[in-house]
Structure 1
Amino acid sequence: MFKLFLLFLIVPVLEIYLIIKVGSVLGGLPTVAILLAVSLSGAFLVRSQGFRILSQVRGELAQGRLPAAQLLDGALILVGGLLLTTPGFFTDFIGIFFLIPATRRLIKLWLGLWLQSRLARGGFLVRRY
């Protein structure tokens, strides 16, 4: 819980700092234009990649297979899109990282390793209701 609190405290401060720094170098209007351009291009990328993933999910389901990898890709694309719609340079950078297929593979690899280590340590509890 404390890590989440720090995340919600540090990220906005970092975003404001970066916007002020970029704005002092480029000016206010170009800074806003860059933020808008990145958000619009991010929305386009999310839309196009989302449709591609959706067709892959349909293809996997039509062949009777579970589209686990495609669903994870879809979730990562959604997170990337949410980060791109958040105004700021830091979240835009992280959001783009989630949208590029090569870096998304790295994220999936890291998530797999993290999940394996949590399962090996018994880091997940199963509650029955």
Structure 2
Amino acid sequence: MVRIGLFLGFLLVPVLEIWFLIRVGSVIGGWETVALLIADSVLGAWLVRREGRRAWAALRTAIESGRMPDKELIDGAMIVAGGALLLTPGFLSDVFGFFAILPFTRPIARRWLSWFLGRRVRSLAARSPYAPLFDRTAGFGGAGFGGAGFDGVDGVGGTSGAGRGRVVHGEVIDDDKH
């Protein structure tokens, strides 16, 4: 299914780009369309450079403060992807490129990307032979983490102990030492 989607994407996107370029060229003229594409590329290169520097500075700040730079890494990847889209000639790819690069649209693109990748990872995990390990609905002693001997309280087997069964507090005594 993914291969068919990629095939259609690589087939349809250039056709749509060419069709749109012809439509724009027929409205404003051929040389004006080329000039608009060049201006679009120059603006995009300047914007990629500026936002790339900002993302790099934010990444360094996050690392120096000891914080996990997840947002900064995603922003950097989106700037690179947006720059690649701006390199391809055409107005449609430039729209998506600018959407990934501009600082006021990047949070929206980041949310969409996070949603899409989250769905994709859950789908792949569900089809994995290790799917029972990711099952959060199984109770304590079931097919989830509880069945593997984890109770999900101390951060080893899940996110919390809620809904995972009874937690028995106590002390571990090593009989070999006595």
TM-score (normalizing by structure 2): 0.66
Matched residue, 2:78: 76
Give percent identity, aligned residues only. Answer: 46
Distance 1:19 1:115, change over 3 A: closer
Matched, 1:109 2:147: no
Greater C-alpha radius of gyration = 2
TM-score (normalizing by structure 1): 0.89
Matched, 1:45 2:38: no
2:117 aligned partner, one-letter code: L
Distance 1:86 1:120, change over 3 A: closer
How far residue 124 of structure 1 moved from its aligned partner, in angstroms, is: 7.1
Distance 1:113 1:27, change over 3 A: same
Higher relative contact order (CA 8 A, sep 6+): 1
RMSD between aligned residues = 1.9
Matched residue, 2:95: 93
SS at match of 1:49: helix
Match of 2:15 among 13, 16, 21: 13
Matched, 1:27 2:53: no
How far residue 24 of structure 1 moved from its aligned partner, in angstroms, is: 0.9
Tell me how many residue pairs correspond in the alignment. 127
How far, CA to CA, are the matches of 1:92 and 1:123 in structure 2? 35
SS at match of 2:105: helix
